[in-house]
Amino acid sequence: MSNTKDVQLVLVSEQPYLVSEDDIVENVLCIFSVNGKLIEACPEDLLGDAIDWVKKIIATPEQIGWIKYILGVEIKEINQNQIDSILNNQGNCEIEIDKNTNEPKLFNGKIIIVL
């Protein structure tokens, strides 16, 4: 049985990112909501009252994928229809987690969204 983790898909400059409310460490890129606009930055770069929220990046656009099971396993890029469907659910989605390391599972270098 697979372990999953709740994450959120957000669009930054029309590109999908997976983010979470995990603890944030210094010198790691995050997504900031600043006056309602989403930007990518390090926590030490942005301070101030204009910040709505900060979330840890789990996957960049290049790292997001899904698994298609037809005559075996095929790793696919996430497409616009899937992005729209997730965004219609307030961006809420799940990714697979390795039960031994508690880190996102990678399949051919992609973090897999559970669809």
The structure tokens 């999953």 sit at 4
pLDDT digits (tens, 9 = 90+) for 68-98: 676 666 777 888 888 999 999 999 999 988 8
Enumerate long-range contacts of 40-45, CB under 8 Å, 24 or more apart: 40/12
Domain count, the chain: 1
Structural domain of residue 84, as residue ranges?
3-114
pTM: predicted TM-score of the whole model, two decimal places: 0.82
Contact criterion met (CB below 8 Å) for 10 and 33: no
